[in-house]
Chains A and B, each alone.
Chain A
């Protein structure tokens, strides 16, 4: 789960990371009032869950309440990469910016440890820095049993060429960022840019944070912070059924158990000339109700011209999937053709249940994909 900048920064601040004074607003009027309270010189920043806000014109400076109101009018309602801006963060401007730094904590999968990354090349896309000048990125691994030690932050600070009088402050801030990471089961806490102000202080101008979805059950307050306003309704519904669904642009709906097989099914549809309409993994513990929900979600996409149901039972039992399909067809009227492939645990029972529904079936994956592509073609001609 990704958090908004203002949410991330508030969490950072709780662990002692200095952030600018500011608040969120939803109307130009509120922005005007906030700007007055903050002293008149602010940054108005679009709060959307995507990168590249600055380039898209979603971050603007203002020197007065009037100007901030005007900027807010431009930014609120703006579309950034398909996301509508509904909220802006109004932050007091930093008292001059002497340097921009990059600082983040993330998981290094290969080392199986949290890793802190820092670079004096802040304020730009860090992946570009990593690609072009990898020597400018400094890394330390943090053993959770040991914690982030001061020699490690010294290594980062010295590597970046940070003035030594700031090292202690940098250590405190870095520790705060790591503590935020640990306390919230984050998969990323990032400050880009972390600035050295004209007053020679460190200040987190931006903030980005992702939380490990698997850990949300033990962080109910974080889970409530999820912004679903820009999330497709179908994806929200899928989550309520415990399904993993991602809408794509194609015409063939997919219902599969297991993420790997779901991706392979999408790939083979494309290989045989179709386009997958979605990724949908019904997961491991799915029962009849989830399958019914899944089918309903796929059918709510008007681009879907055929559905490929590919279930290889293991922990999922094919008879339960079959019952779900039958239950869904009782509830939803549809002319979208379906190709069903059931194999593995209780596959025979599943096929027997589906026999009465007279669906197109397949045993080989290639055959199933070809049939689905052909069925979609037929639907398009008939529509």
Chain B
């Protein structure tokens, strides 16, 4: 078992003919992901690394039975691509695109909720179920199958932690990057709930960062609902207040959203919090 994706997940790549889309389609195929279709308006009938290209997601789904979409689409076309995937009946949409305006995401999220579709991201690296499937851009070779669930607001920091785990022989059930934007599709709590219910996940690592209150809300959830141990790391202890640290969501405002506040909330919920990413491994072993 795993969460969200496994070896049977059938993926359609939106924007498959672009530079990043084509490159990462190859990497996903190499990993064993079932990339069954791609889309690129006007390029229907082409093939990219052997994957058939369609003009629309609807035609791609009809021909291939895809049930998961991943977007390699620039910000100004991304909301359109998400609506398209939703309308084509895709249940799980992975959005890697960064710099989508917040007001667009508010509308997108509200639409997805009404249609019952789940989005991961935006501005996220995707996810990987080691040995089975990866959707997105997480490097496949750093992850190994196992029983640790990983959930993170950051992209590359996720790789860092997964790499540290794997190099100590601790495999992962699924690693999920939820993205660093203020409005996203899947929250820490959503993923924690899935890990709690997944029989193959024994414990969970949660990687947060400054800004917002997602970590504090997750701490409350952990306290009330998680039986499996959770270990955390929070990035941004040295970040100056009032400045956005790269991610649109990573900002300390008027004393809220600080690393200290998040660490305290997590510790109060019985979560061990590491001083640096590599220390996580020592804490869980």
Contacts and interface: CB of A to CB of B under 8 A. Distances in A.
A144 B106 contact: yes
Given A107-B182, A344-B142, A264 B159 contact: no
Interface of B is mostly: loop
A123 interface: no
Interface string B213-239: 110010000000000000001011111
Interface string B247-281: 11110001100000000000000000001111000
Contact of B76 (A217, A270, A312): A217
A263 interface: yes
A112 B217 CA distance: 14
B248 A213 contact: yes
B139 A344 contact: yes
B56 to A, nearest CB: 25
Interface string A7-39: 000000000000000000000000000000000
Interface of A is mostly: mixed
Interface string A162-178: 00000000000000000
A185 interface: yes
A345 B139 contact: yes
A273 interface: no
Interface in B134-174: 137-139, 142, 152-160, 163-164
A262 B239 CA distance: 10
B103 A257 contact: no
Given A127-B255, A266-B239, A259 B250 contact: yes
Contacts of A246: 240, 243, 245
Contact of B156 (A107, A114, A217, A260): A260
A262 B236 CA distance: 9
A246 B153 CA distance: 20
Contacts of A315: 20, 24, 96, 125, 137
Contacts of B109: 112
Interface stretch (A276-284, A296-304, A332-340, A374-382): A276-284
A364 B278 contact: yes
Instruction: Find the residue from B24, B107, B157 having the highest chain A CB count within 10 A.
Output: B157
B235 A263 contact: yes
B102 A279 contact: no
B159 A112 contact: no
A289 to B, nearest CB: 15
Given A112-B183, A344-B159, A260 B255 contact: no
Interface in B68-99: 75-76, 96, 98-99
A129 to B, nearest CB: 11
A361 B239 CA distance: 26
A314 B101 contact: no
B90 to A, nearest CB: 21
Given A257-B156, A263-B235, A314-B137, A109 B249 contact: yes
A345 B183 CA distance: 28
A268 B164 CA distance: 15
Given A260-B156, A315-B20, A344-B159, A185 B103 contact: yes
Interface of A: 107, 109-110, 112-114, 127, 143-145, 182, 185, 187, 212-215, 217-218, 244, 246, 248, 256-264, 266-271, 276, 279, 281, 283-285, 312-315, 343-345, 364-366
11 contacts: A109-B249, A110-B217, A114-B103, A214-B100, A215-B101, A217-B75, A258-B157, A259-B209, A260-B209, A312-B163, A314-B139
Q: Closest 10 CB pairs between A and B? A: A260-B154, A259-B246, A258-B156, A260-B157, A215-B101, A281-B246, A261-B156, A263-B235, A214-B99, A259-B247
Given A215-B102, A261-B155, 9 more contacts: A114-B106, A185-B102, A214-B248, A215-B104, A258-B155, A262-B245, A263-B209, A267-B236, A345-B137
